[in-house]
Chains A and B, each alone.
Chain A
Amino acid sequence: MKFSLSWLKYYLETEATIDQVADCLNRIGLEVEGIENPADKLAGFLVAKVLTAAPHPQADKLQVLTVDSGDGNPLQVVCGAPNARAGLVGVFGVEGATVPANGMVLKKTAIRGVESNGMMCSVAELELGDDHDGIIELPADAPVGMAFAEYADVNDPVIDVAITPNRQDCMGVLGIARDLAAAGLGTFKPVEVPAITSSYPCPVEIRTDDPEGCPAFYGRVIRGVKNGTSPDWMQARLKAAGQRPISALVDCTNYLMLACGRPAHAYDLAKLNGAVVARRAVKGETVTALNGKEYTLSSDMTVIADDSGVHDIAGIMGGEHSGCSEDTTDVLLEIAYFTPERIARTGQALALTSDARSRFERGVDPAFLDDGLALLTDLILKTCGGDASDVIHAGQPPVERKTVVYDTARCVALGGIDVPADQQKAILESLGFEVATDWTVTVPTWRRDIDGWADLVEEVVRIVGLDNVVSTPLPRADGVAKPTATPQQSLERKVRRAAAARGLNEAINWSFLPQKEADAFGGGSWSLENPISEDMKVMRPSLLPGLLSAAQRNMDRGASSVRLFEVGRRYLADSERLTVGIVLAGEKTPRGWATGKAAKFDAYDAKAEVIALLAAAGVATDGLMVLGEAGEHYHPGQSATLRMGPKNILAAFGTLHPATAKAFDLDGTVIAAEIFLDAIPAKKGAGFMRPAFTPPALQAVTRDFAFLVPEQLPAGDLVRAIKGCDKDNIVAVRLFDRFAGQGVPEGQISLAIEVTLQPGEKSYGDEELKAISERVVAAATKLGATLRG
């Protein structure tokens, strides 16, 4: 909502400066978004006289002028305006001035070889209107050398205020003035409602057939108007409010709306046919609105129509057909009350916004129909002439006076400011509330937003000033401090920092993906109805596509190595699951003086990350099973899952399928992993106590074994079998060599394994060691292994 300071002062008697007004507005909840003084834009533009005008030697359409801007030092100016001529008094922009329309800073220049200093300006260049046919012509007696801003009397700052949706009453200058007066900035000057003399009955029938959507429809005719241009004072106020002047009749309705927050509509009577009725639209009915677009209506929308069709999408936008034009001589004025919810729904359904809609859907003052109509009639009669008819009142606006039972002690209890009762009363009254002696408060008709005592507290504290709220410490909770993070949150934090500690960089990627990428990773369950673009359409079923895209962008920017991870949710049909995604691409280590060539990542790097992060999450990784079925986006032979038991998949990892890598424009081997944090079982609350442990007195001993095994036997199976064959003695089993080739039969491989044995009370004797070895060999033999000699 924009308005000029002078307009505000029409309703508010005050000596306050623009800064004081702005401060006060901010203080009471009417946020100032900007202050602009049109005079500022016109700095450097002076009233000037063209002394001579001669044709430009190089260009037919240009002239070379000498311009006197009052300093007795005429300047040469090249000008293309057809009306430029000697003797003309106009507006001259000096070197250094900024042209408001295009932001160009004027400087000395040469135009087609002729020096030019500054510029003679058009109306459009100074943003004073649309006319750019020629340069501005001022009266011959305009004082040369005077600042144009001063001459044009535009030194009237414009304030832009953000009105919150609850304050419909402040969508007119009048309401803002009332609020400022309540805050002590001046004296409110209520509008005086003129008495209108009507000379004949309204010749048009007006009805409302939709009392639900349009409870009240008041109207009158004015005959014999002349729809020219509105007066300068009105145009100036409208322009300051950002409203382009259109014609006197339209400007009058707009003026009423901006001054009093009261939309109204003027129909060209000549274009109406029969009774004018507020009714429900017929499904499929169409209307071309004033914005030139055609709208198809549905039966839950209210319209204003006559015998020949719809003329107005009620409360939102008038129709093109019956709008006022230059030729209009007789008008029908409509001032109605539309049900806010109806307006909101219709506006949403048609995706049509307008100044009228934003006011009606917030709820205009239902008691301001007659006064509004009188004010509008008066404006039109004064501006356009004519004779007014009687008013037809169709229906009744819902004027119910709401009351709130208030207790002044609530102010400090909720608002934290102790305000004396009489001051609270004064504040409420200045805002238009009526306060009875028993503190039953009657709400003004224009404050639809007030419906409980908390609203009254809000009114009091905002006028008193929130600066007066005294900071009060929250009482400390009783008892011992407990963790405020859930176990899942703690786990997430640990995994994140463990990943960063391992050299991975945490990225945050979009939660949404293109359809194609979601499909390649199992398919998404949630597709947006109104995505911002097709690339951000489906909620991700996996974190990998986002990481792969990020990896690709990094590679495109010349990165040699990418190690990214993300901790976030993947979105499944039934829930959102916390997940870690990892992508490794490019070089694992760069070429080095000691290591030679650069090393690439491989699938075991993914395995290492997964095991390390699961361990950080508190999972006993030794007991996990390595199985297949990592997913189709992985290399079928270089990927696996880590499971806790055969069904519970904690992680999938491996080399990315080359086709998937290619789909993301990634060259070379790409390594990926996903850890499903949601699958990690919650730790049982075992307290802080650890199992008892004393380091064994006797040293552990190691024994090495080499086995020949069938080459398809997973090495992990052998290790697991050995580990399990003598749990009392074997504490660790480590595979340290894997060899095929010379000395190893075809179809077999040699696996060398180090077994660590921990003696208990006394050292192992030869017999015991032999028995353990036999158990190891027996376990291996069961898997088809033979001990190498």
Chain B
Amino acid sequence: MFAEALEQFRIGSLGKSGVVTGLLKTLGGRTDDERAQLGPQFNALRKDFESVIAQGKAEVEEVDLAARLATERLDMTLPAPEAPRGTVHPVSQVMDELAEIFADMGFAVAEGPEIEDDWHNFSALNIPETHPARAMHDTFYFPDQMALDGKKMLLRTHTSPVQIRTMTSQEPPIRIIAPGRVYRSDSDATHTPMFHQIEGLVIDKGIHLGHLKWTLETFLKAFFERDDVVLRLRPSYFPFTEPSVEVDVGYSVVKGKRVIGGSEGWMEVLGSGMVHRKVIEACGLDPDVWQGFAFGTGVDRLAMLKYGMDDLRAFFDGDNRWLQHYGFNALDVPTLSGGVGA
């Protein structure tokens, strides 16, 4: 309505036969003096009309838009389309964290087969067939006819054979970590027949127990992102290290849960030691030149200690609800600058 009236007003004033247009037309019949006097006045009049009409138009558009928007209202409380949330398994996340921490210390990630032969898994690690330590390993074996080059095949019981494979395939100095699946014929509330370990190995000149201690301290502090991680080294025995050292880590109790850091109590977290001379020899290196250390620990266990899961069996159940709860966002990539914990 207003828009129409405005248009009528425009035609009546500024249109071809409008009043203002008419006035302007009369200028042609005037004297020079009159034109000089009336011309500017008439033109100013035209501009005023134009401006009033433009303002009116703008107001009309504003009102129209408001009216249209009023009809376009959405209920913004309605749910938006949901994208499914994917997750990275805590074991993978922790392995990435470990790779990141050790990369900073110059450790590369090494791998080896899970279906191993008994030379790499035992003999080369100074565990001969009659060694009582073999019995501690609850090994899964493959039948004799699967033997390779006369060596009995088995599922590796630890990641330590990767030490052997690394030392026999690359020249020292060596700094590696080797994460992966390992297997023991054991199944109860706290043991699963398959679990994850990570192995570390340094072979160089002049490496001693002090370097081992520093490396483990640095790793555990970085992993748990705490300065108060305290280590207690205890003598122990592994056939492939000498001296052998079991590493306890101090914990404190927070809301009834054991949390790494502090020293209210100790828990056994790592096995380690200086690589046994016989192992270095078995890999074709001169133990009078090269020495170093090795360590191993459970990745699943590290994950539980850091992120608070209680039940190891749930790691391998693939329960959506568990994965959604304990899993990690794809973009939580552990980095040194952003922190290795998510």
Contact = CB atoms under 8 A, between A and B. Distances in A.
Task: Please indicate whether A and B come from the same complex rather than being unrelated chains.
Answer: yes
B235 to A, nearest CB: 3
B245 interface: yes
A431 B294 CA distance: 27
Residue of B111, B217, B237, B246 most packed against chain A (CB within 10 A): B237
A26 B92 contact: no
Interface string A468-493: 01111110110001001110010001
A623 B323 CA distance: 35
A554 B243 contact: no
Interface string A402-414: 0000000000111
Interface in A477-536: 477, 481, 484-486, 489, 493, 496-512, 526-532, 536
Size band of the B side of the interface? Answer: 35 or more
A526 B142 CA distance: 7
Contacts of A593: 78-79
A334 B232 CA distance: 44
B233 A414 contact: no
Contacts of B256: none
A562 B142 contact: no
Given A553-B317, A559-B320, A501 B86 contact: yes
A683 to B, nearest CB: 18
B113 interface: yes
Interface string A559-570: 101111001110
A412 B132 contact: no
Interface stretch (A449-457, A674-682, A745-753): A449-457
The main secondary structure of chain B at its interface with chain A is mixed
A499 B89 CA distance: 12
Contacts of B86: 499-506, 563
A165 B291 CA distance: 24
Contacts of B186: 532
Nearest to A163: B237
Contacts of B89: 506-508
Interface in B164-202: 173, 175, 181, 183, 185-187, 193-194, 202
Given A493-B96, A505-B86, A592-B81, A345 B130 contact: yes
B84 to A, nearest CB: 3
Interface stretch (A143-151, A368-376, A459-467): A459-467
B225 interface: no
Interface string B202-224: 10001111111111011000000
B233 A466 contact: yes
A497 B331 contact: yes
Contacts of A466: 209, 233-235, 245
Interface string B82-123: 011111110110001001001101111101011100000000
B327 interface: yes
Interface stretch (A27-35, A232-240, A244-252, A659-667): A27-35
A416 interface: yes
A424 interface: no
Given A469-B213, A506-B327, A554-B320, A165 B155 contact: no
A326 interface: no
B244 interface: yes
B210 to A, nearest CB: 3
Given A31-B234, A503-B83, A414 B274 contact: yes
Contacts of B140: 528-532
Given A536-B193, A553-B317, A506 B323 contact: yes
Contacts of B181: 511, 568-569
A224 to B, nearest CB: 40
A530 B141 contact: yes
A361 B130 contact: yes
B52 interface: no
A509 B324 contact: no
Nearest to B248: A26
A463 B193 CA distance: 37
A594 B155 CA distance: 53
B242 A458 contact: yes
A572 to B, nearest CB: 10
A561 B317 CA distance: 16
Given A167-B237, A472-B213, A561 B84 contact: yes
> Counting chain A CB atoms within 10 Å of each CB, which of B103, B133, B140 scores highest?
B140
Interface in B114-168: 114-115, 129-133, 135-136, 140-143, 146, 153, 155
B323 A505 contact: yes
A528 B81 contact: no
A412 B206 CA distance: 10
B132 A165 contact: yes
A532 B187 contact: yes
B2 interface: no
A526 B99 CA distance: 30
Interface residues of A, number: 96
Given A466-B245, A563-B84, A26 B209 contact: no
Nearest to A505: B323
B315 interface: yes
Of B89, B108, B218, B243, chain A has the most CB atoms within 10 Å of the CB of: B243
A27 B235 CA distance: 7
A500 B213 contact: no
Interface in B299-342: 315-321, 323-324, 327-331, 333
A576 B318 contact: no
B91 to A, nearest CB: 6
Most buried by B among A413, A415, A461, A508: A508
A340 interface: yes
B41 interface: no
A469 B173 CA distance: 23
Contacts of B114: 511, 569, 571, 576
B312 to A, nearest CB: 11
Nearest to B195: A508
Contacts of A502: 86
Which of A29, A506, A550 has most B Cβ within 10 Å?
Answer: A506
Interface string A385-429: 000000000000000000000000000111111000000000000
A102 to B, nearest CB: 22
A474 B215 contact: yes
A207 interface: no
Nearest to A507: B318
A484 B316 contact: no
B132 A362 contact: yes
B327 A527 contact: no
Contacts of B244: 164, 458
A727 interface: no
B43 interface: no
A259 interface: no
A576 B236 contact: no
B319 A467 contact: no
A547 B107 CA distance: 33
Contacts of A485: 99, 103, 108-109
A511 B208 contact: no
B92 A567 contact: yes
A344 interface: yes
A539 interface: yes
Nearest to A504: B86
Contact of A510 (B81, B102, B194, B324): B194
A525 to B, nearest CB: 9
Contact of A532 (B185, B316, B328): B185
Contact of A484 (B107, B141, B213): B107
A341 interface: yes
A509 B329 contact: no
A782 interface: no
Contacts of B155: 511, 528
Contact of A476 (B96, B106, B329): B106
Contact of B92 (A27, A506, A526): A506
4 interchain residue pairs of minimum CB distance: A550-B318, A29-B235, A164-B237, A503-B84
12 contacts: A27-B235, A29-B236, A164-B236, A164-B237, A166-B237, A361-B130, A505-B320, A526-B142, A528-B140, A528-B155, A546-B318, A595-B81
